[in-house]
Structure 1
Amino acid sequence: MTTPAAPLSVLIVDDEPLARLRLRTLLGAVAQPLLAIAGEAASAEEAMAWLRRERVDLLLLDVRMPGRGGLALAAALQGLPRRPAVVFVSAHGEHALEAFDVEAVDYLTKPVRLERLQAALERVAARRVPAAPPQPPAAGPVLVVSERGRLLRVPLAELLYLKAEAKSVLLRTPSGSFQLDEPLAELEQRLGAGFLRIHRNAIVAKAAVRALEPRDDDEGRAVRVAPVDEWLAVSRRQLPAVREALGEG
């Protein structure tokens, strides 16, 4: 017996509420393929935040939006391990060639006709890769982060420290480092009890700390982070909490 295909999950991304409503109405009139409207986003930033939490099969994506436009968002999606298909929906036809440069499945012009939307959805469904068999769960929790628009999944067990720099946050692992787009305070909220704020610009994994020692310049203390053998400054304000966490007092 053949297992029915799962519904095609769709995220509508358009800054105009009426445009989102019209697409939702049109999608409700589609009989095949089976659809599930996963949600809506009013900007590229909102859509990217949504995709960090959930997976979808298709983005119905406007081209021109305040802030980052649809073309830039589609380009950023190419770094995802399971990238959703993209069908652009725009009032402007002149971006069609650019749309296919970012591997869009189709380019619909507003007002969208049901027949054209139906054809685009059928094309997406035909290209959909069958779902992979269930994989064993990951060894532990991960931190999903954004590096220049590219989404990364970093296992918390590999995260050594986060350090705020001029215009980004450095994420360090034993194998390398990444420059993140998100502020340190926001990243801190997604970390567990295994991490410790040691300075207003630095958070370290407790398990990675090997020593707490005076700094050579007599400006306080620093912790040594293994296995990379790097030192991070500890502020005087955070020193009691660091000592307590490390079992020194």
Structure 2
Amino acid sequence: MPLDQPVKIFIVDDEALARERLRTLLGDLAPLYPHVVVGEAASGQAALDSLRELAVDVVLCDIRMPGMDGIELALHLTRLPRPPAVIFTTAYDNFAVQAFELNALDYLMKPVRLQRLLVALQKLPGPGVDGEQLAALGQSLRGGGRSHLSCHERGRLLLVPVSEVLYLRADLKYVMARTLEREYLLDDSLAQLEQEFPDRFLRLHRAVLVAREALAGFEKASGDDVEAYGWALLRGLPEKLPISRRQWAAAKAAGAAGNA
């Protein structure tokens, strides 16, 4: 990468000592590699809050962190207008191998060494991270789906806590996520979300997934109702969701299990 301008670097690690070590190493590299550390964060969520407003060239990102881990953070970063390159840092060999397979710019084993950090930075620009592979790897490593969904609204990337989503509904090219407060349009497909969160969301209809804990009851549709075989009632919302004939038995069974 031409170094006519300093490379903008952002550090993400939940351990203060790890962030300090990276800052020290980067300081030692300054004569060889012009750069500026423009910020740091102790969590994926805090990092994304900053990086939505701050354009950077590369993120040095720990993989295993409480809450939003590094894999999920990297996935959300791919949806920024100008995604930064990602260099993963990790203390776990198996994470490193899998991270490298994602086409991340590079990965660094902890404790990070000076020469190895320089080699990684010199790869800029590098290949983009594969979003689908990131999602699959993250699900495997953490044993479940993301903590947040993301959507673009008025030029900004917003995060939607999965725990607050009551249902998901396909709407033309988008999927609408409904919380108690409002609706969000997502870029994910309904099929992807169903696969990522099988324990949280239940399919009611070819176009609808509902959070199992949001189910409050059921109604059989009238005989002349062409939209649905039945209806799901929701906790906290007046609206009803359609249930297809195929999904009716499974939905009622899931509702009964949830209320047991």
Question: What is the TM-score when the length of structure 1 is the normalising length?
Answer: 0.53
Cα deviation for residue 61 of structure 1 reads 0.4
- In structure 2, the partner of 1:24 is 23
Q: Distance in 1 between matches of 2:153 and 2:122?
A: 31
Tell whether the 8 Å contact from 2:3 to 2:34 is kept in structure 1 after alignment: no
- In structure 2, the partner of 1:11 is 10
Cα deviation for residue 65 of structure 1 reads 0.4
Residue 29 of structure 1 aligns to a residue in which SS?
A: helix
Cα deviation for residue 179 of structure 1 reads 3.3
Q: Which segments of 5 or more consecutive residues in structure 1 lack a partner in the other structure? A: 130-147, 157-165, 188-249
Cα deviation for residue 78 of structure 1 reads 1.8
Cα deviation for residue 104 of structure 1 reads 0.9
Residues paired across the two proteins, number: 160
- In structure 2, the partner of 1:52 is 52
Instruction: Rate the CA distance shift 1:27–1:184 in 2: closer, same or farther, 3 A.
Output: farther
Give the 4+ runs in structure 1 shifted more than 2 A: 100-103, 126-129, 148-151, 166-170, 175-181
Tell whether the 8 Å contact from 1:15 to 1:43 is kept in structure 2 after alignment: yes
Structure with the larger helix share: 2
Tell whether the 8 Å contact from 1:57 to 1:84 is kept in structure 2 after alignment: yes
- After the TM superposition, which residues 62-211 of structure 1 pair with which residues of structure 2 at under 5 Å, given as runs? 62-124=62-124, 126-127=125-126, 149-150=149-150, 152-154=152-154, 167=165, 178-179=176-177
Q: Distance in 2 between matches of 1:184 and 1:78?
A: 27
Instruction: Rate the CA distance shift 1:95–1:168 in 2: closer, same or farther, 3 A.
Output: same
Q: Distance in 2 between matches of 1:119 and 1:4?
A: 15
Question: What is the TM-score when the length of structure 2 is the normalising length?
Answer: 0.51
Tell whether the 8 Å contact from 2:6 to 2:36 is kept in structure 1 after alignment: yes
Instruction: Rate the CA distance shift 1:151–1:117 in 2: closer, same or farther, 3 A.
Output: farther
Instruction: Rate the CA distance shift 1:153–1:34 in 2: closer, same or farther, 3 A.
Output: farther
Instruction: Rate the CA distance shift 1:184–1:25 in 2: closer, same or farther, 3 A.
Output: farther
The structure with the largest alpha-carbon Rg is 1
One-letter identity of the residue aligned with 2:16: P
Q: Distance in 1 between matches of 2:16 and 2:155?
A: 37
Instruction: Rate the CA distance shift 1:128–1:176 in 2: closer, same or farther, 3 A.
Output: closer
